Protein backbone atom coordinates (compact mmCIF):
# COMPACT_ATOMS: atom_id res chain seq x y z
CA UNK A 1 0.00 0.00 0.00
CA UNK A 2 1.41 3.43 -0.91
CA UNK A 3 2.01 5.83 1.95
CA UNK A 4 -0.89 8.00 2.98
CA UNK A 5 -0.41 11.56 1.69
CA UNK A 6 1.11 13.53 4.47
CA UNK A 7 -0.56 16.90 3.85
CA UNK A 8 -4.14 15.80 4.75
CA UNK A 9 -2.84 13.95 7.80
CA UNK A 10 -0.89 16.97 8.95
CA UNK A 11 -3.99 19.10 8.53
CA UNK A 12 -6.08 16.67 10.59
CA UNK A 13 -3.54 16.65 13.44
CA UNK A 14 -3.35 20.42 13.48
CA UNK A 15 -7.14 20.65 13.59
CA UNK A 16 -7.25 18.19 16.50
CA UNK A 17 -4.60 20.16 18.37
CA UNK A 18 -6.44 23.46 17.84
CA UNK A 19 -9.74 21.90 18.90
CA UNK A 20 -8.22 20.61 22.13
CA UNK A 21 -6.78 24.03 22.92
CA UNK A 22 -10.07 25.80 22.21
CA UNK A 23 -11.96 23.24 24.29
CA UNK A 24 -9.54 23.76 27.18
CA UNK A 25 -9.95 27.53 27.05
CA UNK A 26 -13.75 27.31 27.07
CA UNK A 27 -13.85 24.89 30.00
CA UNK A 28 -11.30 26.92 31.96
CA UNK A 29 -13.95 29.57 32.60
CA UNK A 30 -16.06 27.23 34.73
CA UNK A 31 -13.80 24.35 35.76
CA UNK A 32 -10.35 25.78 36.34
CA UNK A 33 -10.22 24.70 39.99
CA UNK A 34 -8.61 21.30 39.27
CA UNK A 35 -6.94 22.05 35.94
CA UNK A 36 -3.32 20.98 36.15
CA UNK A 37 -0.39 23.23 35.31
CA UNK A 38 1.48 22.86 32.00
CA UNK A 39 4.69 20.81 32.03
CA UNK A 40 7.43 19.66 29.64
CA UNK A 41 9.48 16.49 29.80
CA UNK A 42 12.19 14.28 28.31
CA UNK A 43 11.43 10.57 27.77
CA UNK A 44 13.31 7.38 26.95
CA UNK A 45 11.36 4.66 25.15
CA UNK A 46 11.68 1.10 23.87
CA UNK A 47 9.49 -0.13 20.99
CA UNK A 48 8.78 -3.51 19.49
CA UNK A 49 7.45 -3.63 15.90
CA UNK A 50 7.70 -7.39 15.51
CA UNK A 51 4.51 -9.25 14.59
CA UNK A 52 5.88 -12.63 15.50
CA UNK A 53 7.63 -12.19 18.85
CA UNK A 54 8.41 -9.73 21.60
CA UNK A 55 11.96 -10.70 22.20
CA UNK A 56 14.49 -8.28 23.62
CA UNK A 57 16.48 -8.55 20.42
CA UNK A 58 13.63 -6.84 18.54
CA UNK A 59 13.63 -3.73 20.71
CA UNK A 60 14.22 -0.30 19.16
CA UNK A 61 15.34 2.59 21.37
CA UNK A 62 14.04 6.14 21.16
CA UNK A 63 13.77 9.53 22.81
CA UNK A 64 11.05 12.12 22.89
CA UNK A 65 10.16 15.60 24.11
CA UNK A 66 6.68 16.18 25.50
CA UNK A 67 4.29 18.92 26.45
CA UNK A 68 1.52 18.17 28.97
CA UNK A 69 -1.31 20.48 29.91
CA UNK A 70 -4.65 20.26 31.70
CA UNK A 71 -7.96 20.52 29.92
CA UNK A 72 -10.41 20.39 32.81
CA UNK A 73 -10.67 18.52 36.07
CA UNK A 74 -8.70 15.27 35.74
CA UNK A 75 -8.53 15.45 31.93
CA UNK A 76 -5.18 16.34 30.31
CA UNK A 77 -3.58 16.11 26.91
CA UNK A 78 0.02 15.33 25.97
CA UNK A 79 1.93 16.00 22.76
CA UNK A 80 5.04 13.89 22.22
CA UNK A 81 7.60 14.62 19.52
CA UNK A 82 10.45 12.10 19.21
CA UNK A 83 12.58 9.74 17.21
CA UNK A 84 13.24 5.99 17.18
CA UNK A 85 16.36 4.35 15.90
CA UNK A 86 14.96 1.40 13.87
CA UNK A 87 17.83 -1.05 14.33
CA UNK A 88 15.45 -3.97 13.90
CA UNK A 89 12.59 -4.60 11.43
CA UNK A 90 9.63 -2.24 11.72
CA UNK A 91 7.77 -3.34 8.58
CA UNK A 92 7.38 -6.14 6.09
CA UNK A 93 10.69 -5.60 4.30
CA UNK A 94 14.04 -5.99 6.08
CA UNK A 95 15.31 -2.77 7.54
CA UNK A 96 18.33 -1.56 5.58
CA UNK A 97 17.74 2.15 6.11
CA UNK A 98 19.77 4.20 8.50
CA UNK A 99 17.06 6.85 8.69
CA UNK A 100 15.52 7.68 12.04
CA UNK A 101 11.80 7.15 12.50
CA UNK A 102 10.24 10.42 13.65
CA UNK A 103 6.83 10.56 15.29
CA UNK A 104 4.34 12.91 16.86
CA UNK A 105 1.56 11.64 19.13
CA UNK A 106 -1.34 13.50 20.69
CA UNK A 107 -2.83 11.68 23.67
CA UNK A 108 -6.00 12.64 25.49
CA UNK A 109 -5.54 11.43 29.08
CA UNK A 110 -7.76 10.87 32.06
CA UNK A 111 -6.15 10.81 35.52
CA UNK A 112 -7.77 8.84 38.35
CA UNK A 113 -6.94 11.43 41.03
CA UNK A 114 -6.03 15.09 41.47
CA UNK A 115 -2.46 15.99 40.54
CA UNK A 116 -1.43 16.38 44.21
CA UNK A 117 -1.38 12.64 45.03
CA UNK A 118 1.86 10.63 45.13
CA UNK A 119 0.97 7.99 42.52
CA UNK A 120 -1.63 8.88 39.91
CA UNK A 121 -2.69 6.22 37.35
CA UNK A 122 -4.10 7.32 33.99
CA UNK A 123 -5.52 6.01 30.72
CA UNK A 124 -5.47 7.69 27.34
CA UNK A 125 -5.87 7.49 23.58
CA UNK A 126 -5.23 9.62 20.53
CA UNK A 127 -3.89 10.02 16.97
CA UNK A 128 -0.33 10.24 15.75
CA UNK A 129 1.93 10.55 12.70
CA UNK A 130 5.14 8.81 11.66
CA UNK A 131 7.75 10.22 9.29
CA UNK A 132 10.02 7.50 7.95
CA UNK A 133 12.12 7.44 4.78
CA UNK A 134 10.48 10.67 3.64
CA UNK A 135 7.03 9.14 3.88
CA UNK A 136 4.30 10.18 6.30
CA UNK A 137 2.03 7.60 7.97
CA UNK A 138 -0.96 7.99 10.29
CA UNK A 139 -1.52 6.01 13.49
CA UNK A 140 -3.81 5.61 16.48
CA UNK A 141 -2.85 4.51 19.96
CA UNK A 142 -4.16 3.64 23.41
CA UNK A 143 -2.10 4.12 26.56
CA UNK A 144 -1.99 3.53 30.27
CA UNK A 145 0.51 4.26 33.01
CA UNK A 146 1.04 6.34 36.12
CA UNK A 147 2.67 9.54 37.27
CA UNK A 148 4.90 9.55 40.36
CA UNK A 149 5.00 12.91 42.14
CA UNK A 150 8.55 13.82 43.22
CA UNK A 151 7.91 17.40 44.34
CA UNK A 152 5.36 20.15 43.78
CA UNK A 153 6.80 20.85 40.34
CA UNK A 154 8.51 17.61 39.22
CA UNK A 155 7.04 14.17 38.53
CA UNK A 156 7.96 10.91 36.78
CA UNK A 157 5.77 9.87 33.83
CA UNK A 158 5.67 6.16 32.90
CA UNK A 159 3.58 4.91 29.98
CA UNK A 160 2.78 1.70 28.09
CA UNK A 161 1.06 2.21 24.74
CA UNK A 162 -0.11 0.17 21.77
CA UNK A 163 0.08 1.85 18.34
CA UNK A 164 -2.05 0.86 15.37
CA UNK A 165 -0.37 2.14 12.21
CA UNK A 166 -2.78 2.89 9.36
CA UNK A 167 -0.38 1.58 6.75
CA UNK A 168 0.78 -1.93 6.06
CA UNK A 169 4.29 -0.60 5.43
CA UNK A 170 4.91 -0.21 9.17
CA UNK A 171 3.85 -2.77 11.73
CA UNK A 172 1.80 -2.04 14.80
CA UNK A 173 4.02 -1.65 17.83
CA UNK A 174 4.12 -1.70 21.62
CA UNK A 175 6.08 1.12 23.26
CA UNK A 176 7.11 1.56 26.88
CA UNK A 177 8.52 4.87 28.03
CA UNK A 178 9.68 6.67 31.13
CA UNK A 179 10.32 10.38 31.44
CA UNK A 180 11.00 13.20 33.84
CA UNK A 181 8.60 16.15 33.62
CA UNK A 182 8.62 19.58 35.21
CA UNK A 183 5.94 22.25 35.55
CA UNK A 184 6.77 25.39 33.58
CA UNK A 185 3.89 27.63 34.65
CA UNK A 186 1.87 27.96 37.83
CA UNK A 187 -1.61 28.69 36.60
CA UNK A 188 -3.68 31.12 38.63
CA UNK A 189 -6.87 29.43 39.65
CA UNK A 190 -9.98 31.48 39.07
CA UNK A 191 -12.97 31.50 41.34
CA UNK A 192 -15.82 29.91 39.42
CA UNK A 193 -18.48 31.33 41.71
CA UNK A 194 -19.68 34.88 41.13
CA UNK A 195 -20.76 36.30 44.44
CA UNK A 196 -24.25 37.73 44.54
CA UNK A 197 -24.92 41.13 46.11
CA UNK A 198 -26.36 39.37 49.13
CA UNK A 199 -23.24 37.24 49.60
CA UNK A 200 -20.99 40.28 49.25
CA UNK A 201 -23.02 42.09 51.89
CA UNK A 202 -22.77 39.08 54.21
CA UNK A 203 -18.99 39.11 53.90
CA UNK A 204 -18.68 42.76 54.91
CA UNK A 205 -17.17 43.57 58.30
CA UNK A 206 -19.74 43.13 61.11
CA UNK A 207 -20.94 46.25 62.90
CA UNK A 208 -20.69 47.05 66.61
CA UNK A 209 -22.83 50.13 67.23
CA UNK A 210 -22.24 50.39 70.99
CA UNK A 211 -18.54 49.52 70.66
CA UNK A 212 -18.54 46.98 73.47
CA UNK A 213 -16.52 44.42 71.52
CA UNK A 214 -19.58 42.28 70.70
CA UNK A 215 -20.88 42.42 67.13
CA UNK A 216 -24.50 43.49 66.74
CA UNK A 217 -25.56 40.07 65.49
CA UNK A 218 -24.53 38.54 68.83
CA UNK A 219 -25.45 41.52 71.05
CA UNK A 220 -28.81 41.38 72.88
CA UNK A 221 -28.49 45.13 73.54
CA UNK A 222 -26.74 46.50 70.41
CA UNK A 223 -27.33 50.14 71.42
CA UNK A 224 -26.09 49.86 75.03
CA UNK A 225 -22.57 48.67 75.88
CA UNK A 226 -22.34 45.68 78.19
CA UNK A 227 -20.08 42.73 79.04
CA UNK A 228 -20.06 39.46 77.13
CA UNK A 229 -21.25 37.72 80.32
CA UNK A 230 -24.64 39.34 79.78
CA UNK A 231 -24.57 39.01 75.95
CA UNK A 232 -23.72 42.69 75.53
CA UNK A 233 -26.33 44.10 77.94
CA UNK A 234 -25.48 46.41 80.87
CA UNK A 235 -26.29 45.80 84.54
CA UNK A 236 -26.92 49.31 85.84
CA UNK A 237 -27.77 48.40 89.43
CA UNK A 238 -25.03 45.75 89.73
CA UNK A 239 -27.32 43.02 91.05
CA UNK A 240 -26.08 40.39 88.57
CA UNK A 241 -29.23 40.61 86.44
CA UNK A 242 -28.82 42.36 83.04
CA UNK A 243 -31.07 45.35 82.38
CA UNK A 244 -32.97 43.61 79.56
CA UNK A 245 -34.16 40.97 82.06
CA UNK A 246 -34.41 43.26 85.13
CA UNK A 247 -37.80 44.74 86.05
CA UNK A 248 -36.04 47.16 88.38
CA UNK A 249 -32.84 47.99 86.41
CA UNK A 250 -31.95 50.96 88.67
CA UNK A 251 -32.56 49.19 92.00
CA UNK A 252 -30.65 46.08 93.18
CA UNK A 253 -32.83 43.03 93.53
CA UNK A 254 -32.91 39.24 93.41
CA UNK A 255 -33.70 36.70 90.71
CA UNK A 256 -36.89 35.50 92.44
CA UNK A 257 -38.41 38.92 91.91
CA UNK A 258 -36.90 39.44 88.42
CA UNK A 259 -34.31 41.93 89.60
CA UNK A 260 -36.49 43.78 92.08
CA UNK A 261 -35.91 43.81 95.85
CA UNK A 262 -37.77 41.28 97.94
CA UNK A 263 -40.90 42.81 99.44
CA UNK A 264 -40.33 43.94 102.99
CA UNK A 265 -42.81 42.48 105.47
CA UNK A 266 -42.73 44.40 108.68
CA UNK A 267 -42.94 41.92 111.52
CA UNK A 268 -42.97 42.94 115.16
CA UNK A 269 -39.79 42.15 116.98
CA UNK A 270 -40.30 39.26 119.40
CA UNK A 271 -40.86 40.37 122.95
CA UNK A 272 -38.20 38.75 125.08
CA UNK A 273 -38.58 39.37 128.79
CA UNK A 274 -35.00 39.23 129.93
CA UNK A 275 -35.88 39.41 133.60
CA UNK A 276 -38.16 36.39 133.31
CA UNK A 277 -35.51 34.42 131.40
CA UNK A 278 -32.93 35.27 134.05
CA UNK A 279 -35.00 33.77 136.85
CA UNK A 280 -35.92 30.55 135.00
CA UNK A 281 -33.23 30.42 132.32
CA UNK A 282 -31.64 27.31 130.92
CA UNK A 283 -29.34 26.80 128.01
CA UNK A 284 -32.24 25.49 125.94
CA UNK A 285 -34.56 28.38 126.74
CA UNK A 286 -31.89 30.97 126.02
CA UNK A 287 -31.03 29.22 122.72
CA UNK A 288 -34.69 29.17 121.72
CA UNK A 289 -35.04 32.86 122.46
CA UNK A 290 -31.90 33.71 120.50
CA UNK A 291 -33.05 31.74 117.43
CA UNK A 292 -36.42 33.48 117.60
CA UNK A 293 -34.60 36.78 117.51
CA UNK A 294 -32.35 35.49 114.67
CA UNK A 295 -35.41 35.37 112.38
CA UNK A 296 -35.11 39.17 112.19
CA UNK A 297 -31.42 39.20 111.22
CA UNK A 298 -31.21 40.46 107.62
CA UNK A 299 -28.40 40.89 105.06
CA UNK A 300 -28.09 42.82 101.83
CA UNK A 301 -28.80 40.80 98.65
CA UNK A 302 -25.96 38.37 97.84
CA UNK A 303 -23.77 40.06 100.47
CA UNK A 304 -22.74 39.52 104.08
CA UNK A 305 -23.60 43.08 105.15
CA UNK A 306 -26.09 43.34 108.01
CA UNK A 307 -29.04 45.66 107.41
CA UNK A 308 -30.21 48.26 109.96
CA UNK A 309 -33.36 46.17 110.51
CA UNK A 310 -31.22 43.58 112.29
CA UNK A 311 -30.04 45.93 115.05
CA UNK A 312 -32.89 45.35 117.57
CA UNK A 313 -32.53 41.55 117.47
CA UNK A 314 -28.74 41.68 117.75
CA UNK A 315 -28.82 44.04 120.77
CA UNK A 316 -31.21 41.69 122.53
CA UNK A 317 -29.04 38.64 121.74
CA UNK A 318 -26.00 40.41 123.19
CA UNK A 319 -27.95 41.11 126.40
CA UNK A 320 -28.94 37.45 126.71
CA UNK A 321 -25.36 36.27 126.25
CA UNK A 322 -24.12 38.66 128.93
CA UNK A 323 -26.49 37.28 131.59
CA UNK A 324 -26.18 33.62 130.67
CA UNK A 325 -22.89 31.85 131.38
CA UNK A 326 -21.80 29.70 128.43
CA UNK A 327 -18.66 28.00 127.19
CA UNK A 328 -19.17 28.20 123.40
CA UNK A 329 -21.59 29.75 120.90
CA UNK A 330 -21.67 28.34 117.35
CA UNK A 331 -23.11 30.72 114.76
CA UNK A 332 -24.42 28.87 111.69
CA UNK A 333 -25.11 30.45 108.33
CA UNK A 334 -27.60 28.98 105.80
CA UNK A 335 -28.67 30.03 102.28
CA UNK A 336 -31.23 29.01 99.69
CA UNK A 337 -30.23 27.05 96.57
CA UNK A 338 -29.84 30.11 94.31
CA UNK A 339 -26.32 30.18 92.87
CA UNK A 340 -23.53 27.62 92.87
CA UNK A 341 -22.73 25.28 95.76
CA UNK A 342 -19.34 26.91 96.30
CA UNK A 343 -20.81 30.43 96.33
CA UNK A 344 -23.55 29.46 98.77
CA UNK A 345 -21.10 27.90 101.23
CA UNK A 346 -18.85 30.95 101.00
CA UNK A 347 -21.78 33.37 101.49
CA UNK A 348 -23.14 31.47 104.49
CA UNK A 349 -19.73 31.55 106.18
CA UNK A 350 -19.31 35.27 105.49
CA UNK A 351 -22.75 36.07 106.95
CA UNK A 352 -22.10 33.99 110.06
CA UNK A 353 -18.81 35.84 110.46
CA UNK A 354 -20.60 39.20 110.18
CA UNK A 355 -22.80 38.24 113.14
CA UNK A 356 -19.72 37.10 115.06
CA UNK A 357 -17.97 40.43 114.48
CA UNK A 358 -21.04 42.32 115.67
CA UNK A 359 -21.15 40.29 118.90
CA UNK A 360 -17.42 40.84 119.47
CA UNK A 361 -17.85 44.58 118.91
CA UNK A 362 -20.60 44.51 121.54
CA UNK A 363 -18.31 42.95 124.14
CA UNK A 364 -18.74 39.19 123.71
CA UNK A 365 -15.49 37.20 124.10
CA UNK A 366 -14.24 36.15 120.66
CA UNK A 367 -12.69 32.99 122.10
CA UNK A 368 -16.17 31.69 122.94
CA UNK A 369 -17.49 32.20 119.40
CA UNK A 370 -17.19 30.00 116.32
CA UNK A 371 -18.85 29.95 112.91
CA UNK A 372 -19.87 27.36 110.34
CA UNK A 373 -21.36 27.83 106.87
CA UNK A 374 -23.70 25.16 105.54
CA UNK A 375 -24.76 26.82 102.29
CA UNK A 376 -27.99 25.28 100.99
CA UNK A 377 -27.37 21.79 102.38
CA UNK A 378 -29.86 22.03 105.30
CA UNK A 379 -33.09 23.59 104.01
CA UNK A 380 -36.10 23.96 106.32
CA UNK A 381 -38.56 24.88 103.56
CA UNK A 382 -39.24 24.33 99.87
CA UNK A 383 -36.67 26.11 97.67
CA UNK A 384 -39.05 26.21 94.69
CA UNK A 385 -41.06 29.13 96.12
CA UNK A 386 -39.92 32.63 97.11
CA UNK A 387 -41.37 32.14 100.59
CA UNK A 388 -39.52 28.86 101.07
CA UNK A 389 -36.24 30.33 99.92
CA UNK A 390 -36.71 33.26 102.33
CA UNK A 391 -37.04 30.82 105.25
CA UNK A 392 -33.92 28.93 104.17
CA UNK A 393 -31.82 32.12 104.28
CA UNK A 394 -31.28 32.15 108.02
CA UNK A 395 -28.88 32.42 110.97
CA UNK A 396 -28.93 29.74 113.68
CA UNK A 397 -27.36 29.84 117.17
CA UNK A 398 -26.16 26.72 119.02
CA UNK A 399 -25.27 27.51 122.66
CA UNK A 400 -23.15 25.23 124.82
CA UNK A 401 -23.05 25.41 128.65
Domains in the chain, CATH or no CATH each: 6-183 (2.40.160.20), 232-263 (no CATH), 274-400 (3.30.1330.60)
pTM of the model: 0.42
Strand boundaries in 112-217, DSSP class E: 119-132, 135-149, 154-165, 173-183
Per-residue pLDDT band for 266 (boundaries 50, 70, 90) equals: very low
Please return the burial class of 15, using the count of CB atoms within 10 Å of its CB with bins 0-12, 13-18 and 19+.
Answer: exposed
Per-residue pLDDT band for 97 (boundaries 50, 70, 90) equals: low
pLDDT at residue 23 above 50? no
Task: Tell me the C-alpha distance between 163 and 62, whole Å.
Answer: 15
Find out whether 333 and 352 touch, Cβ atoms under 8 Å.
yes
Bigger pLDDT: 361 vs 169: 361
Query: What is the average pLDDT across 13-41?
Result: 55
Find out whether 78 and 17 touch, Cβ atoms under 8 Å.
no
pLDDT tens, residue by residue, 187-236: 776 554 444 455 555 556 788 898 888 998 888 999 999 898 889 899 99
Task: Tell me the C-alpha distance between 60 and 50, whole Å.
Answer: 10
pLDDT tens, residue by residue, 147-194: 999 998 999 999 999 999 888 888 888 999 999 999 998 877 655 444
Amino acid sequence: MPPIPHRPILLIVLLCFCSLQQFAQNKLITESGNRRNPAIGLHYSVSNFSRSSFEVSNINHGYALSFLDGVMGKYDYMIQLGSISPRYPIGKAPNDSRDLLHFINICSMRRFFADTVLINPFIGAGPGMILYEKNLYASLHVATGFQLRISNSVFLHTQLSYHVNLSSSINNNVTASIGLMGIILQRKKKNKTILSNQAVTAQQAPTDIDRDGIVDGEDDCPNDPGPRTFCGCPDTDGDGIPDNKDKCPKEPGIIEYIGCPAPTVKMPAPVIKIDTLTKTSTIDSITTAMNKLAEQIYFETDKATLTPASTHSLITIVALLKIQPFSLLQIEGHTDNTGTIERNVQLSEERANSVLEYLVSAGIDRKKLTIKGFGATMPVADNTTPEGRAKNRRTVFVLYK
